[in-house]
């Protein structure tokens, strides 16, 4: 079984923020696969079904970003998830809006959700789908930026971006990380010149 985790913060206040783009992709992938995210457990909401032909659980931690590990670690333990079967989808300020990178393992790069998961699991050997949200203007507040909403230009392209990111997640599940990295890591998913 695979465990797909969409990182973000719970509640309407954060629903449409950059920090919640991981949740947006996880919800979209679950919806397209007919997986209802209605179960309560692991300090989150989740559903189980088949995603891209693979048995999978999709989990949305409800712990707030900086405590994501308190949700992910018990889910991994209960479901028998190995590091290679855990896929964490999250926002990434070091990538421009409209791009993504699939990565196997690594550090947290200052991302509080990844830091929490790595500490709770005792390793960082899981797969990541890093969704570019760009950086704030020079000298801008990073926290305020990721907790802010997308620009009007970005909102016009957000649906296309989420659809392409969902396709990348499904490709990763079907073909594995090496092929997924080769296919997605060096290309723009949308025409970001328009954002």
pLDDT tier, 188 (very low <50, low <70, confident <90, very high otherwise): confident
What pLDDT is attached to residue 195?
Answer: 45
Determine the average pLDDT of the residues in 114-118: 97
What pLDDT is attached to residue 162?
Answer: 97
Q: What is the mean pLDDT of the chain?
A: 94
Determine the average pLDDT of the residues in 88-102: 95
Annotation marks residue 108 as catalytic: no
Q: What is the dihedral of CA 52, 120, 122, 90, to 10 degrees?
A: 40
DSSP for the chain reads -EEEEE----SGGGTTBGGGHHHHHHHHHHHHTT----EEETTEEEEEEEETTEEEEEEEE-S-GGGTHHHHHHHHHHHT--GGGEEEEEEETTS-TT-EEEEES---TT-HHHHHHHHHHT---SEEEEEE---PSTT--HHHHHTSBPPHHHHHHHHHHHHHHHHHHHHHHHH-HHHHHHHHTTS-SS-GGG-
Beta bridge partners of residue 100, listed in sequence order: 131
Instruction: Check: pTM over 0.85? Answer yes or no.
Output: yes
For 40, list phi and psi in degrees, rounded to 5. Answer: -105, 130
- Is the confidence at residue 192, as pLDDT, over 80? no
What pLDDT is attached to residue 180?
Answer: 95
Who wins on pLDDT, 98 or 189?
A: 98
- Is the confidence at residue 193, as pLDDT, over 60? no
Question: What is the C-alpha to C-alpha distance for residues 19 and 134, in angstroms, rounded to an integer?
Answer: 11
pLDDT tens by residue, 125-166: 999 999 999 999 888 889 999 999 999 999 999 999 999 999
Q: Which of 19, 90, 111, 123 is catalytic?
A: 19
pLDDT tens by residue, 24-48: 999 999 999 999 999 999 999 999 9
């Amino acid at each position: 079984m695979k465990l797909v985790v969409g990182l973000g913060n719970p509640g309407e206040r954060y629903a449409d923020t950059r920090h919640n783009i991981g949740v947006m992709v996880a919800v979209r992938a679950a919806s397209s696969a007919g997986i209802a995210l209605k179960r309560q457990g692991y300090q989150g909401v989740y559903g189980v079904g088949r995603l891209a032909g693979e048995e999978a659980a999709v989990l949305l931690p409800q712990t707030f970003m900086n405590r994501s590990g308190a949700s992910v670690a018990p889910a991994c333990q209960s479901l028998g998830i190995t590091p290679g079967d855990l896929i964490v989808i999250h926002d990434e300020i070091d990538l421009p809006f409209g791009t993504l990178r699939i990565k196997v393992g690594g550090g947290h790069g200052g991302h509080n959700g990844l830091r929490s998961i790595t500490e709770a699991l005792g390793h960082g050997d899981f797969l990541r789908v890093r969704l570019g949200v760009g950086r704030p203007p020079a000298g801008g507040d990073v926290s305020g930026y990721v907790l802010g909403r997308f620009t009007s230009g970005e909102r016009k392209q957000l649906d296309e971006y989420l659809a392409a990111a969902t396709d990348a997640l499904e490709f990763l599940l079907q073909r594995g990380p090496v092929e997924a990295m080769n296919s997605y890591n060096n290309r723009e998913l949308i025409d970001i010149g328009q954002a």
